[in-house]
């Protein structure tokens, strides 16, 4: 029987198993180019079911309709070959089929089930954690990894990557000390582990440690930045640290030279571009013509309703650039998605649609309406995925909207939340000063 380097069963040749390990190893640290490795393998051994299933899964979990054709092509080949595969390989095919059908929850649990049956299958753990991330399931981001940890030891290949995954889950559950320790351990084992570095960045973001966070990201960048398909997101974290220290030119420089370096060729990059510029734009900073760089990438992805989280970030670009037609098209996309089936229907109905309407109201200067749409949605925003740091843009927008609306009680409440989390933040202090100038209504 052929196995991967951790003893998990495969039905391919020994040579294909070795080459799969190379591709999977690159995917673990989001290093270029796992798909290129798979394509080279499949050109020589087109009957490798695991390679087709992995290729389909990599493209599917970009949550990007632009890659739909690639997903379907690889999925069709994987399904045709699945009867020749083993139970583990057939489960991989079933997982990506469910994801492609729009049932993200079932796909995630299928990957999770593979990891339960094969606890050293790091790839299954990784895909399951990605599913948990896209669905905003903080507890499972942690527990999905914790349930397999007893089967691992430090000398096993990939142990550091598992620790990095655990670090992110611990951070999303608020266990910051353990998260930082696990992330730093993972980086020590492999400095290329950008996911682990990103977990530590999340800790520092949530704890309001921007100067320390910026220094950490700059110090570790020589490890995680080269040949990385994930570096744009870590540079985004550094830009957030810059903003929170009042270094707006530094944040814009990172947008220009790092975050936008890939030309926003995938939705995940465009999300970070929108999220960064929106924070600056909401504060009133001049971002020049940078929004134009996001117009075409987001425009090409509209009308699909694949993932509400993406649609909301597209809405940011359309609102800030004043494109009313694109805003309306996005709202209509979310309305259609909300009336459909699958995981994204819930995401669009419960979170995406009210948030899009709130952002549109903000852009039209109706700040009171922006608060009314966003405030009740923020508490359940985890339902449409992302991390605490990414969803923080909602609290950011609420602070600014309440102040601009002249709503003193609401502004004071939103700013109080902010100061409790990040008392030393210049941004929070600025909101506090502005909120103090507002006049509370006279008691009836």
pTM of the model: 0.97
What are the residues whose beta carbons fall under 8 Å from the beta carbon of 375, sequence distance 6 or more?
Answer: 398
Long-range contacts of residues 124-129, Cβ cutoff 8 Å, at least 24 apart:
124/92, 125/162, 125/165, 126/27, 126/28, 126/161, 126/165, 127/57, 127/61, 127/95, 129/165, 129/168, 129/169
Establish how many alpha carbons lie within 13 A of residue 348's alpha carbon, considering only the half-sphere containing its beta carbon: 24
Pairing of strands 2-3, 9-10: antiparallel
The DSSP bridge partners found for residue 2 are: 10
What are the residues whose beta carbons fall under 8 Å from the beta carbon of 102, sequence distance 6 or more?
Answer: 341, 342, 343, 344
Tens digit of pLDDT at every position of the chain (444 positions): 799 999 999 999 999 999 999 999 999 999 999 999 999 999 999 999 999 999 999 999 999 999 999 999 999 999 999 999 999 999 999 999 999 999 999 999 999 999 999 999 999 999 999 999 999 999 999 999 999 999 999 999 999 999 999 999 999 999 999 999 999 999 999 999 999 999 999 999 999 999 999 999 999 999 999 999 999 999 999 999 999 999 999 999 999 999 999 999 999 999 999 999 999 999 999 999 999 999 999 998 877 789 999 999 999 999 999 999 999 999 999 999 999 999 999 999 999 999 999 999 999 999 999 999 999 999 999 999 999 999 999 999 999 999 999 999 999 999 999 999 998 899 999 999 999 999 887 665
Query: What phi, psi does 282 have (nearest 5°)?
Result: -60, -35
CA distance 433 to 325: 36
């Amino acid at each position: 029987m052929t196995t991967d380097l951790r003893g998990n069963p495969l039905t391919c040749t020994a040579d294909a198993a070795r080459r799969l390990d190379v591709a999977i190893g690159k995917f673990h640290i989001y290093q270029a180019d796992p798909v290129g490795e798979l394509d080279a393998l499949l050109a020589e051994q087109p009957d490798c079911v695991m390679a087709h299933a992995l290729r389909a899964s990599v493209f599917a979990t970009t949550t990007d309709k632009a890659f739909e054709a690639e997903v379907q092509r690889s999925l069709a080949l994987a399904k045709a070959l699945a009867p020749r595969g083993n139970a583990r390989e057939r489960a991989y095919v079933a997982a990506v089929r469910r994801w492609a059908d729009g049932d993200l929850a079932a796909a995630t649990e299928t990957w999770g089930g593979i990891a339960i049956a094969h606890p050293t299958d790091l790839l299954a753990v990784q895909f399951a954690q990605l599913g948990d991330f896209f669905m905003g399931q903080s507890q499972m981001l942690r527990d999905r990894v914790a349930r397999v940890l007893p089967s691992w030891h430090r000398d096993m290949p990939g142990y550091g990557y598992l620790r990095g995954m655990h670090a992110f889950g611990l951070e999303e559950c608020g266990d910051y000390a353990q998260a930082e320790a696990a992330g730093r351990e993972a980086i020590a084992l492999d400095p290329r582990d950008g996911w682990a570095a990103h977990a530590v960045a999340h800790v520092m973001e949530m704890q309001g440690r921007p100067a320390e966070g910026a220094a950490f990201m700059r110090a570790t960048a020589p490890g995680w930045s080269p040949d990385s398909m994930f570096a744009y997101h870590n540079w985004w974290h550094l830009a957030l640290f810059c903003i929170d220290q009042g270094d707006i030119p530094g944040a814009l420089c990172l947008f220009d030279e790092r975050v936008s370096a890939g030309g926003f060729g995938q939705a995940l990059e465009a999300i970070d571009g929108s999220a960064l510029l929106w924070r600056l734009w909401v504060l009133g900073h001049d971002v020049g013509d940078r929004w134009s760089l996001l117009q075409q990438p987001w425009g090409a992805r509209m009308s699909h309703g694949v993932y509400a989280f993406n649609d909301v970030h597209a809405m940011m670009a359309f609102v800030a650039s004043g494109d009313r037609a694109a805003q309306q098209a996005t709202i209509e996309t979310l309305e259609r998605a909300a009336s459909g089936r699958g995981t994204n229907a819930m995401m669009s109905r419960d979170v995406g649609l009210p948030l899009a309407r709130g952002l549109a109201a903000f852009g039209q200067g109706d700040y009171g309406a922006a608060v009314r749409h966003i405030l009740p949605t923020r508490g359940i925003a985890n339902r449409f995925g992302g991390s605490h740091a990414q969803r923080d843009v909602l609290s950011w927008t609420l602070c600014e909207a309440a102040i601009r609306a002249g709503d003193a009680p609401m502004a004071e409440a939103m700013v109080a939340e902010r100061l409790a989390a990040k008392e030393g933040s210049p941004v929070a202090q600025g909101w506090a000063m502005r909120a103090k100038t507002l006049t509370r209504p006279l008691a009836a």
